[in-house]
Amino acid sequence: MEAKTAPRSSLLRPERIQRFLAFGGLIALIVVFSLASQYFLKPDNIGGIFLATAVNGVLALGVTFVIINGGIDLSVGTVMTFSAVMTAQFITIWQMPVPVGILAGLLTGALCGLANGLMVTKMKVPPFVATLGMLYITKGLSLVVSQLKPIYFNDTPIFNQVAMGSVLGDLARVVIGVFDPSNPMVLEPLANPTIVDPIKNIVLVFFGAAIIAAFILGKTILGRYTFAMGSNVEATRLSGVNVDRWQTAIYTLCGLFAGLAGVIIGARLNSAQPALGAGYELDAIAAAVIGGTSLSGGEGSILGTVIGAFVISVLANGLRILSVPQEWQIVVTGTILVLAVYLDRRRKK
């Protein structure tokens, strides 16, 4: 397993092949759905798929780090909700400026991640248990802080408008010379719609986050240690790396992404919904696994995870468009998940 010890150099490292598998699968799904329904490739529907991927995709980015590191984070869904609630608490209840609220949401996520990391490294609680505990804690705290009520961003419409506006659409209008400065971000139904309007700003945030995640995983020492600890944590420790500190950093990073997902879901729903979030961690883990991240650690990639997240949302969207009953949609998703891991195993033999 030379690829494991030198994960960043070889072009033929295993997760690349897995990524081709996942990518091929994604293309196949798109082709099938496009042939089956004339509505699948419409700009609005494509925009809908991107939006549906954004929250799960951002969660999956953070989870990818933790899984490559050999751990697991079950708390990302409820940490996301808690972050959304804290953002709303700052903006709506305490009437702080929107950027402060966004920062508070990100910080909440990071602090929850930090607590996860400390539980795992200092208190030696297994990751599964530590983050399961955090799942319950943040689920309860969301309800306590919000006092069981959704908190709305109605006093600060700019939050939702910026998130759901389309900079790409504005750029396109500037390029073709029909941009109306009095109506940026598509606030009103359009006089000059462009084909990229359905690509909303939160989708760009997701892609931005993915690029940053890919950079951290591929080009920084944190990324290198993530793979090294996932392959062999003892060897990494013996080579003088402060394993505890780096693992804590990885959980904190995962929490930060969950916080970002919280800000995104809050902006999209124009509210923090305290009862939502449990179950989202499973979709995030599924995205990472379909994208070739190995649950035994040491393998995975951000591009793979992004593709995995799209496989899940394209599948859900396409089956819905074809009016496949929902119970069967769930069965199909499960089958694809097992199939992806099975192909992964076969390849390794």
Partner 1 sequence: MKSKNLFVVVSLLLVVAMIAGCQPAAAPATQAPAQPPAQPPATTAKPYIPVISKGFQHQFWQAVKAGSEKAAKELNVDITFEGPETEAMVDKQVEMFQTALDKKPAAICLAAVDSKAFIPLLEKAKAAGIPVIGFDSGVDSDIPVATAATDNIAAAAAAADKMAELIGGSGEVAIIAHDQTSRTGIDRVKGFTDQIKAKYPNITIVDTQYGGGDQLKSTDIAKTVIGAHPNLKGYFGANEGSIIGVLNAAKELNMGGKLTIIGYDSGKQQKDAIRSGFQAGAITQDPIGIGYKCVEAAVKAMKGEKLDKNIDTGFKWYDKTNIDDPEIVAVLYD
Binding residues vs partner 1 (CB under 8 A): 37, 39, 42, 44-45, 48, 51-52, 55, 86, 89, 108, 111-112, 114-115, 118, 122-123, 140-141, 143-145, 147-150, 152, 154, 164, 189-190, 200, 265, 268-271, 273-276, 313, 316-317, 320-321, 323, 326-327
At its nearest, how many Å lie between partner 1 and the CB of residue 45?
4
Of 10 and 154, CB closest to partner 1: 154
CA distance 70 to 67: 5
At its nearest, how many Å lie between partner 1 and the CB of residue 295?
25
At its nearest, how many Å lie between partner 1 and the CB of residue 318?
9
Of 19 and 139, CB closest to partner 1: 139
CA distance 54 to 202: 7
Enter the tokens of residue 278.
């449990």
Enter the tokens of residue 53.
């991927």
Of 117 and 230, CB closest to partner 1: 117
Of 37 and 232, CB closest to partner 1: 37
At its nearest, how many Å lie between partner 1 and the CB of residue 141?
6
CA dihedral of residues 99, 105, 106, 109 (deg, nearest 10): 180
Give buried/exposed letters for 13-27 (b at 16+ CB in 10 A, else e). Answer: bbbbebbebbbebbe
At its nearest, how many Å lie between partner 1 and the CB of residue 322?
8
CA dihedral of residues 195, 47, 287, 255 (deg, nearest 10): 100
CA distance 137 to 208: 30
Of 92 and 293, CB closest to partner 1: 92
